[in-house]
Homo-oligomer: A and B are copies of this chain.
């Protein structure tokens, strides 16, 4: 019998231990949901030894027994873990936390880990005043690390997302009509995805990476640089400069479709490339190089590989194919070739320069080698993989060649 809640708690405790912190205080949506299977507005205090304490501002009618995972396997009915009334407190403001911890007999943490990348300066400052004797440390990256190796249940949720994502993408050729714009095709696909259970929400880590459900790029718009840290750009709308911008899908252009697969709260990531008629030889070659690089990287998605090595390997490979100048963009090139997925689209690890992190079995990554051919659009591939002991397992299985939308 797997205890999902304990598995996840242990992932966080391991990070607490490595930073020699006595406790952490979580308040971001993503980390609260990760640890507790419940989103509330408030704070979860997790000591290195002992049970988590929930400080809830909203919902006002939340109960201790609403929080946590079922003790049995997911989906099965059963009691939740530790519905302990003394560890559940409705509060009006964070300043009540220290007193309640004292009443519970919990000594003030000497070193307290907070979410320094997520908490605003204003909130952090207030928390420091609540814990004047604690040394506060920024644990945001540690918590991302805790989330990077997925439990079997998390993997099953990402698999489920990938399955529904694949089913949705299968309908793309039928959605296309000659004369359509990128935006029109995107809207048709969004509708299919929503009807297939996509939750719509596209969660990202870090401020200011707003995006709607994903991106559809064709022609010149694939070369438009974005302020955001996605693989490719697209002009989008001035108020949200990413992705489709209303460009017509014209003969000779590619159409790259990269939507987030949030069907379960856990995201997978898939990109497929289509064409409107025939593309140039360079485009087909670049696409084949993407597929070849994907296969080579899949073999190295195994325990012990170092993230930056896979990135540099990718750069060398595309350089050997004479395609370095348009890899991951043209006017602006993204400096990664793969990224973790999970509760957000950009989890750790990232296959990028200076990333010394070592791959572990159970990590889930999207590999997305892509090329931008100016005027024509983008080509390439993206699939979601689970890191294994010997190689990666591809969990998004769907035709990978460029499909000509006009030949159907």
A-to-B contact residues, CB < 8 Å: 27-29, 33, 37-42, 57-62, 114, 116-125, 138, 140, 187, 190-191, 194-195, 199-201, 203, 207-208, 210-213, 225-229, 233, 237-241, 264-266, 331-332, 343
Contacts and interface: CB of A to CB of B under 8 A. Distances in A.
The secondary-structure label for the interface of chain A is loop
6 contacts: A39-B227, A57-B227, A60-B225, A61-B332, A62-B225, A119-B121
A210 B210 CA distance: 11
A40 B211 CA distance: 14
Given A38-B238, A39-B241, A212-B200, A59 B120 contact: no
A123 B206 CA distance: 11
Contact of A199 (B37, B195, B239): B239
Given A33-B238, A187-B191, A265-B237, A226 B119 contact: no
B265 A199 contact: no
B33 A239 contact: yes
Nearest to A237: B199
Contact of A332 (B60, B201, B226, B229): B60
A213 B228 CA distance: 21
A227 B332 contact: no
Nearest to A212: B200
Given A58-B226, A59-B225, A121-B125, 19 more contacts: A28-B208, A37-B238, A41-B228, A41-B229, A58-B228, A59-B227, A59-B332, A60-B225, A60-B331, A61-B225, A61-B332, A116-B120, A119-B120, A120-B207, A121-B138, A199-B240, A201-B210, A201-B211, A240-B265
Contacts of A27: 208
Contacts of A213: 200
- Can you list the 9 inter-chain pairs with the closest CB atoms, starting with the nearest? A239-B265, A59-B225, A200-B212, A121-B124, A41-B227, A29-B208, A187-B194, A60-B332, A191-B191
Nearest to A331: B61
A40 B40 CA distance: 32
By CB atoms of chain B within 10 A, which of A37, A40, A194, A211 has the most? A194
A317 to B, nearest CB: 24
Contacts of A140: 122
Contacts of A125: 121
Nearest to A195: B187
By CB atoms of chain B within 10 A, which of A27, A29, A265 has the most? A29
Contacts of A229: 41, 58
Contacts of A29: 207-208, 210
